[in-house]
Amino acid sequence: MSHSIGTPHSHHIVVEGDPVLRATAKAVEPSEFNGKELKALIATMSKALRDEPYGVGNAAPQIGVSKRIFLVRGFVLANMRRDDVGADKVEDKAFINPSIIRRSKKKVAIEGEGCLSVPEVYGTVTRSIKVTVRAQDETGKKFERGGADVLAEIFEHECEHLDGILFIDHATDIHSRPHE
């Protein structure tokens, strides 16, 4: 039996209402690592993320593929701001088959969390201030990455996507911002 990564809907972000966002994503199988399909999927995810002016992370279900993969914008991992010189050149990082292995006991209420799949909607979400993720890279090699503040928020938010959870499921003070 051959496993297929899945075909993205396009490089556009899938929005709330699409059943793929509510499904538990499937693990990337050992036979899929180092493959052309996996590389193409990650490239498509990166393109979709970079096409969004405020995107800092996305998960494979957000482009219609039920696989346990999320990306984080490279500039976030490099502790840069989006408008820093060279920020756009820092490669995005894929986290494949990720799991959160540590969370700080200390949590914070983050106001204004949003999601590319729930456009123009924001809310307050309680998140750990530090999180450590264990994942695999495109070759299947395991790695761990810790993050604090916005990176911890991204790790928790994207891991929830892989379990069919949207931030609006547990956010408070949900509101939409008027267009600027």
Catalytic residues: 158
Instruction: Report the alpha-carbon distance of residue 7 to residue 50 in Å, rounded.
Output: 19
Instruction: Report the alpha-carbon distance of residue 158 to residue 127 in Å, rounded.
Output: 12
Tokens 């916005």 belong to 150
The sign of the torsion formed by the CA atoms of 57, 65, 159, 29 equals negative
Instruction: Report the alpha-carbon distance of residue 30 to residue 43 in Å, rounded.
Output: 19
Instruction: Report the alpha-carbon distance of residue 13 to residue 24 in Å, rounded.
Output: 18
Tokens 């069919």 belong to 164
Where are the strands (E) in the chain, listed by range?
57-59, 69-72, 93-103, 107-115, 118-128, 130-136, 142-148, 172-176
Name the amino acid, one letter, at 74. G
Q: In the numeric block, which tokens belong to residue 134?
A: 């264990």
